[in-house]
Amino acid sequence: MKLAPQSVPYRALQRGLGFAVLAFFILNASDAGGTGLTVAVAAGIVLVALAYEAAYYQRFEYVLTEDTFDISSGVISRREREIPYRRIQNVDVSRNVVQRALGIAAVDLETAGGSATEGSIRYVTVAEATRLQRELQRRKSGANGSPGELDEHGEPVAPTEEDLFAITPGELALVGALSFDGRLIGLLAFLGSGSVPVLSGFIPTASAAILTATAIVAVGLLFLASWVLGAAIAFSNYYGFRLSRAGDELRYERGLFRRYSGSIPTEKVQTLTIADNPAKRALGYASLSIETAGYAPGQGGDQGSQAAVPIARTDRVYDLAREVEPFGEPSFHRPPRRIRWRYVFRYTMVVAALTGILFAVDWWTAGAIPWYGPLLLLLAVPPAAHLKWKHRGYWLGEDHLLTRNGFWSRQVKVVPYYRIQNVIDTRTIFQRRWYVATVVADTAGTGSLMGSNAAAVDFDIDEAVTLRRELNDRLQDALIDRRARRTAFEWFEGDPMEIYGASADAGTDSAADAGTGSVVDVDADDVVIDDAEADPAVGAALDADDMAGTDRFAGIDGVEDVVDAEGVDDTTDVADAEEGDDGMDAADAEEGDDADDLDIPPDGVIRPDFSVSDRDYSQPAERVDTGDYAVDRHPSDADVPFRPDDESSSGGADGDDDDTEHDEASADDDATPGDDRSGR
Amino acid sequence: MTTQRLHPRVRIVWVVRAIVFAGLFTLPFVAGFYLGYLPEWAPTVAGGVLLVIGVVHALLRYRRWSYEIREDELYLDRGVITQVRTTVPLVRIQHVDSRRGPIERAVGLASCVVYTAGSRGADVRIPGLTPDGANDLRGELKRLAIRADGEDAV
């Protein structure tokens, strides 16, 4: 599909204007010619820009294919990019005032890889932007294994949108009142630094009193201006903020002049942060931000997280957070009380250092500075230490780790165990003196690049070690939980009746001959491949030259080789092909009655059948959806043992057990098909 | 797998590195001396102190370093001044590199870098491996990562 035609003049102006102005200035400055020449050059630049943008428009094309979103673009150097739907983390649409007048919108697609926006479409019509957003969402959930919601005719229905949060005028006013934009001060300081010599010329003539008064007034005005500016920016940013849930994604909308709207799949949420400060706490307000792996939305810009609730009543914030990640009622566990002495010590050192510096200055300048002034701060040390201790803590919920830190800007972080990337336990030399440690649960959220990971700080070493183990265990449990659901789900990929029926036709004898061992492998491999596709980790691990290594290892293990290796290969292909071609239908069918009255053959095994497809299985699968990662093109060659017990289970007995488990798991899960989707 | 120590020769790598750093950080002192701002002994003392600190740190670092491949995680214990213990669940491993720096090549060692999607412990380096050991470790980790069957590693 093409961009909106209106985007051509807009882009040309956007691009050409800067050059034109630059050329104007250069020509004016150099007095190279009259106004006529200047105008001609500017017009020429605009024309060139128009031509370029027309060509850009001509060459830019995007297509929604079966399972990828393809963008081909570029005038001089061409680029074809395919973004698998399931890799898309966020879809954002933004429109500024001019774009709104022209009826166009910018669409940005974010994936977890890379820092830049992976798919940026500038610009399409507003209707098309909305359609893209919805369509991508629908296909994304389809690609993730759960079929997009379909009505009885198999047509996609838009999931009902349920409002979670809408900013009230009072809250908006509060956001404005609490916003302060420091950039103006920075700018003035920057400009001012250049003008100091100029100003100093006037200074001696004025009296000290007037100077001081002027300075105070100027600084006051500056702060007032910064505050008004901050309020205005916050007001225009968060005007009409609305957060809603549609199916398994969150949608937000905000902005007065520049409208932003976007979607975040709840599946991709990495961390929730609930932040407040003493003032907000006293008034009963807090703010919430949602981090995904693509980026914390809007991080590229200066407005902070786009899906952040800037301010709301604390209970509303918690309700909303629970809506996204149901973490229950936290009761935080504080560090040991003795740790307050550590903070007392630390703050005393700071006060001592301050006093020392002032004393040195005093001594050096021989002035009469009251260098002992900071010693008054010592009075504040004990309460500060107590407060610091009081606001630290962590809590292990059913599925989430919650940590809390900070008094002045307190942050409660909610990390689902399933999202933990690694657990880091650090003890500085000072912490060791107090026999405490810090445990950090690292996630893939980009917000944590600023070092604000979920951390349980200053806990007793024994407790920290337990916590570290606990987090790892809970992550493993969460993974197993996920895997059980997923495995069961993938098992019924394709139409079960068709598979069984055809398999029975094809010959039960051969099936019996193949034996249980091969069945287990079929099952296992099925899972490996499906997951590899869904999974950047394995995907990335499987880079092409490493693949050889895998083969080698598999060869040494020799598990698959013992059993019928070819059978395994073929099966993976089938799973693959099915996923590509009729994954949606199959998954849809699975929801129906078919699965319920599926009778299991005597040997308890449902076999895929190769005869129903006209694919040539001697060839590798044509294309494997692996995202941006370089992954083996021939996944059917990957004879990788899947479970730890595979190494020992080439015999029949183990295999049998495994298989039964799988069937049970599948059956269980199938009884409640909704779980898989609505769960998270 | 039981707890693994690094190859003893890694101490050479770290000591050489400490010497290089001590040399680099002594340069300003040398310059100060030549320009006449600092007394003659300043560069020597600064260099000596830096060298001693660096070498002692390198040796202590070797004593502290250990790693272990556990059932479903990679566990690293290291750090002299700040002790760091990292657990990387095998499921979360994105990819594994083995690399060899110039000093490492000179003493015949290699290291292995494990990448995850995490923001803070995004890459974990295990130094002081023999080249074969590094390759084996890489292969082993990769095999385990695949077996651990990560789904959404993000």
pLDDT one-digit tens code per residue, A113-146: 555 677 888 889 989 998 888 888 788 766 554 4
The reported pLDDT for the residue numbered A534 is 40
Most confident of A245-249, A310-314, B63-67, B147-151: B63-67
- Whether residue B70 sits in one domain with residue B58: no
Residue-wise pLDDT for A380-404, tens only, equals 999 999 999 999 999 999 999 999 9
The reported pLDDT for the residue numbered A196 is 52
The reported pLDDT for the residue numbered A347 is 94
The reported pLDDT for the residue numbered A209 is 79
Which position has the higher pLDDT, A501 or B26?
A: B26
Between B81, B86, B149, which is nearest A422 by CB? B86
Partner A contacted by B2 (CB < 8 A): no
3-class SS of residue A642? coil
Which position has the higher pLDDT, A640 or A407?
A: A407
- End-to-end alpha carbon distance in chain B: 27
With a pLDDT cut of 70, the percent of chain A lying above it is 60
Asked if the Cβ–Cβ distance from A537 to B93 is below 8 Å, we say yes
Q: What is the mean pLDDT of residues A524-537?
A: 40
Residue A122 token pair:
């500038």
Scanning every residue of chain A, which has its alpha carbon at the shortest distance from the alpha carbon of B154?
A444
The reported pLDDT for the residue numbered A295 is 58
Contacts of B92 in chain A (CB under 8 A): 420-422, 537
User: How many other CB atoms are found less than 10 A from the CB of residue A311?
Assistant: 29
Contacts of B83 in chain A (CB under 8 A): 426-428, 432
Q: Which domain holds residue B89?
A: 66-148
Q: What is the mean pLDDT of residues A150-170?
A: 69
The reported pLDDT for the residue numbered A298 is 43
Residue-wise pLDDT for B63-102, tens only, equals 999 999 988 889 999 999 999 999 988 888 888 888 888 8
Query: Does any domain span residue B4?
Result: no
Most confident of A159-168, A614-623, B40-49: B40-49
Could you tell me where the DSSP H helices lie in A103-207? 126-143, 169-178, 183-200
Q: Which residues contact A297 (CB under 8 A, 6 or more apart)?
A: A90, A92, A110, A262, A264, A290, A305, A306, A307
The secondary structure of B38-87 as a DSSP string is S-THHHHHHHHHHHHHHHHHHHHHHHH-EEEE-SSEEEEEE-SSSEEEEE
- Whether residue B119 sits in one domain with residue B55: no
| Host H or E run for residue A561 | helix A559-562
Confidence of residue A605 (pLDDT cuts 50, 70, 90): low
Statement: residue A654 has pLDDT above 70? no
The secondary structure of A423-472 as a DSSP string is EEEEE-HHHHHTTEEEEEEE-S-GGGGGS--EEEEEEEHHHHHHHHHHHH
Beta bridge partners of B4: B67
Long-range contacts made by residues A506-513, C-beta under 8 angstroms, separation at least 24?
Answer: A506/A609, A506/A610, A506/A611, A508/A601, A511/A601, A511/A603, A511/A605, A511/A607, A512/A603
The reported pLDDT for the residue numbered A279 is 85
Distance CA B140, CA A541 (A): 12
Q: Which of A535, A522, A525 is nearest to A638 (CA)?
A: A525
Q: What is the ipTM of this complex?
A: 0.88
Asked if the Cβ–Cβ distance from A427 to B93 is below 8 Å, we say no
The reported pLDDT for the residue numbered A545 is 41
Scanning every residue of chain B, which has its alpha carbon at the shortest distance from the alpha carbon of A638?
B146
The reported pLDDT for the residue numbered A187 is 73
The reported pLDDT for the residue numbered B62 is 94
The reported pLDDT for the residue numbered A525 is 39
Is B84 in contact with B130 (CB distance < 8 Å)? no
- Whether residue B137 sits in one domain with residue B75: yes
Q: Residue B84 maps to which CATH number?
A: 2.30.29.30
Q: Which of B28, B25, B31, B83 is nearest to B53 (CA)?
A: B25
∠ at Cα B76 (B72, B81), nearest 5°?
Answer: 155
Distance CA A238, CA A179 (A): 12
Statement: residue A335 has pLDDT above 90? yes
Angle between helices A508-534 and A565-591 (to 10 degrees): 70
- Average pLDDT along chain A: 71
Q: Which of A589, A422, A254, A127 is nearest to B93 (CA)?
A: A422
Statement: residue A33 has pLDDT above 70? no
User: How many other CB atoms are found less than 10 A from the CB of residue A331?
Assistant: 9
Query: Does any domain span residue B3?
Result: no
Residue-wise pLDDT for A239-259, tens only, equals 888 888 887 788 888 888 888
Between B92, B138, B147, which is nearest A422 by CB? B92
Number of domain units in chain B: 2
Q: Which residues contact A174 (CB under 8 A, 6 or more apart)?
A: A285, A311
Which position has the higher pLDDT, A159 or A285?
A: A285
Asked if the Cβ–Cβ distance from B119 to A443 is below 8 Å, we say yes
Describe chain B by its helix, strand, coil percentages, rounded to 5. 50, 25, 25
Query: Does any domain span residue B90?
Result: yes
Query: Does any domain span residue B2?
Result: no
Q: Which of A630, A623, A669, A676 is nearest to A70 (CA)?
A: A623
Is A595 in contact with A670 (CB distance < 8 Å)? yes
Which position has the higher pLDDT, A649 or B127?
A: B127
Asked if the Cβ–Cβ distance from B84 to A426 is below 8 Å, we say yes
The reported pLDDT for the residue numbered A427 is 94
Confidence of residue A617 (pLDDT cuts 50, 70, 90): low
Query: Does any domain span residue B20?
Result: yes
Scanning every residue of chain A, which has its alpha carbon at the shortest distance from the alpha carbon of B142?
A541
Confidence of residue A600 (pLDDT cuts 50, 70, 90): low
Q: Which residues contact A332 (CB under 8 A, 6 or more apart)?
A: A393, A394, A395, A402, A404
Query: Does any domain span residue B73?
Result: yes
The reported pLDDT for the residue numbered A74 is 86
- Whether residue B107 sits in one domain with residue B78: yes
Partner B contacted by A543 (CB < 8 A): yes
Q: What is the mean pLDDT of residues A299-308?
A: 48
Q: Which residues contact B48 (CB under 8 A, 6 or more apart)?
A: none
With a pLDDT cut of 90, the percent of chain A lying above it is 16
- Whether residue B98 sits in one domain with residue B33: no
Dihedral pair phi/psi, residue B84, rounded to 5°:
-125, 130
The reported pLDDT for the residue numbered A599 is 59
Dihedral pair phi/psi, residue A197, rounded to 5°:
-60, -35
Residue-wise pLDDT for A174-216, tens only, equals 888 877 766 767 777 766 665 555 555 555 566 777 878 888 8
Statement: residue A51 has pLDDT above 80? yes
Asked if the Cβ–Cβ distance from A486 to B146 is below 8 Å, we say no
Q: Which of A318, A327, A330 is nearest to A164 (CA)?
A: A318
- Average pLDDT along chain B: 87
Distance CA A131, CA A509 (A): 52
3-class SS of residue A178? helix
Size of interface A-B (CB pairs under 8 A): 151
Contacts of A476 in chain B (CB under 8 A): 72, 89
Statement: residue A661 has pLDDT above 90? no
Partner A contacted by B143 (CB < 8 A): yes
- Whether residue B71 sits in one domain with residue B58: no
Q: What is the mean pLDDT of residues A457-462?
A: 93
Out of B62, B78, B94, a domain closes at: B62
Residue B113 token pair:
């870098």
- Whether residue B87 sits in one domain with residue B139: yes
| Host H or E run for residue A550 | helix A544-557
- Whether residue B56 sits in one domain with residue B72: no
Q: Which of A264, A421, A631 to mutate to test the interface with B (most CBs of B within 10 A)?
A: A421
Distance CA A382, CA A335 (A): 16
Scanning every residue of chain A, which has its alpha carbon at the shortest distance from the alpha carbon of B123?
A422
DSSP A202: T
Contacts of A553 in chain B (CB under 8 A): 139, 143
Q: Scan for tokens 């003659």, then name that residue.
A: B40
Contacts of B94 in chain A (CB under 8 A): 536-537, 540-541
Which position has the higher pLDDT, A307 or B141?
A: B141
The reported pLDDT for the residue numbered B18 is 94
Asked if the Cβ–Cβ distance from A537 to B91 is below 8 Å, we say yes
The reported pLDDT for the residue numbered A535 is 42
Distance CA B23, CA B12 (A): 16
Per-window interface: A 624-653 vs B, CB < 8 A:
638, 640-644
- Whether residue B78 sits in one domain with residue B55: no
The reported pLDDT for the residue numbered A372 is 82
Task: Count how many Cα atoms sit within 13 Å of the Cα of residue B15 in the half-sphere of its side chain.
Answer: 12
Between A445, A643, A644, which is nearest B119 by CB? A445
- Whether residue B51 sits in one domain with residue B70: no
Contacts of A468 in chain B (CB under 8 A): 85, 87
- Whether residue B75 sits in one domain with residue B21: no
Residue A19 token pair:
């050059």
Domains of chain A, first to last = 1-59 (no CATH), 339-475 (2.30.29), 492-678 (no CATH)
Residues B10-27 as b or e (16 or more Cβ within 10 Å = b)? bbbbbbbebbeebeeebe
The reported pLDDT for the residue numbered A197 is 53
Q: What Cα–Cα distance (Å) separates residue A18 from each residue in A40, A57, A76, A503? A: 16, 20, 21, 67
Partner A contacted by B146 (CB < 8 A): yes
Q: Which of A249-258, A302-311, B13-22, B79-88 has the lowest mean pLDDT?
A: A302-311
Asked if the Cβ–Cβ distance from B87 to A423 is below 8 Å, we say yes
3-class SS of residue A57? helix
The reported pLDDT for the residue numbered A68 is 85
Query: Does any domain span residue B153?
Result: no
Statement: residue A672 has pLDDT above 60? no
Query: Does any domain span residue B92?
Result: yes
Q: What is the mean pLDDT of residues A302-308?
A: 51
Q: What is the mean pLDDT of residues A364-374?
A: 79
- Whether residue B46 sits in one domain with residue B17: yes
Distance CA B89, CA A471 (A): 10
The reported pLDDT for the residue numbered B81 is 92
The reported pLDDT for the residue numbered A603 is 63
